[in-house]
Amino acid sequence: MSNPDLRPLHQQVIVITGASSGIGLVTARMAARAGAGVLLVARNEHALRRITAELQANGAQAAYVVADVSRREDHERIARTAVDRFGGFDSWVNNASVGTAGELDKVTIEDHRRVFDVNYWGVVYGSLEAARHLRQRGGAIINIGSVLGERTVVLQGPYCAAKHAVRAFTTGLRMELEREDVPVSVTHIKPSSIDTPFPEHARNYLSSGVQVPPPVYSPALVAKAILFACHNPRRELTVGFGGKMAPLMGRLFPRLTDRLMEVVGYWAQETSNSGLPARRDNLYAPREDGAERSSLGYPVVLKNSPYLQAQMHPVATAAILGGLAIGLAAAGRARR
């Protein structure tokens, strides 16, 4: 089904994994302010309890589930909780993610596999469970990938590989549901570098701290894209044009891009600042949560993305650009 009939946000219940920090936390708060019911999912019960109490105190319908998305049975429990607590759900956001920072021959196979268990299998399990529940009532599945699912960078090999797999799985799922005329929208969202605690949470094999390379964007932009996709069917949304450049260069000039990445990729991700010690390394167990942003203090964080706006509102963007073109042409004729 090419255009599922999705409910407005204030009539929805939204399941959000990875909701205890970063993009997931910003999305939960934004959804609650819009009037949606939210089911927060993460491993850190202390953070979940505090965030849920905050949302409820502000008048939102909110509940939480302590779960590890790498376990399929936990997704079944998430769905049951949504049904028991809210009568069901309308959108399911697969956002939970972990990472490592280090060269591929240094990262252990166990850690490499753990990244796939969370970042890929967590998306697979969540998507299949959501699709099973939404086949009749309709709704949206939103999978959070990355621009690194299109272009690999050094020091992030396992993460990039898992995000490539997420992109392929999401595309396959969308096509199969459309062929069966299932009223479910499947959206793949690809953030660029985002100001979240993710670098501090990564298992670090380097002798330095880790940061995301510039340009860095606000997590609120990703949350806006997610919630837009909850009630507007879209195939893909990329957050931040800066992150779109590397995949574009990789397609046009693959060898040159490789060489640039081999040089720039190291210094752009290494930093003398390791961030808050309490946040370090959540690969296998939760660490300090409850923060939307990184403790690294990036000097510039972009709060707007015209490129994202153009994707969300292509008709309006085309009209504005068309009007500008006509105006420029008229001005040119007047000068003659």
Which positions ≥6 away from 139 have C-beta within 8 Å?
4, 6, 89, 90, 91, 92, 130, 183, 184, 185
CA separation for the pair 151, 139 (Å, rounded): 30
**Total residues found in the chain within this entry:** 336
Distances (CA, A) of 236 to 11, 145, 163, 239: 23, 10, 14, 10
The sign of the torsion formed by the CA atoms of 239, 242, 243, 249 equals positive
Element containing residue 226 per DSSP (H, E): helix 219-231
Q: At what angle do helices 22-33 and 219-231 cross, to 10 degrees?
A: 50
| 28 burial level (CB within 10 Å; 0-12, 13-18, 19+) | buried
At 133, the amino acid letter reads H
Residue numbers annotated as active site: 159
Instruction: List the Cα angle 68/294/228 in 5-degree steps.
Output: 70
CA separation for the pair 101, 73 (Å, rounded): 29
Which positions ≥6 away from 82 have C-beta within 8 Å?
13, 15, 39, 88, 89, 133
CA separation for the pair 20, 286 (Å, rounded): 10
CA separation for the pair 32, 14 (Å, rounded): 9
Cis-peptide into 215, omega within 30 deg:
yes
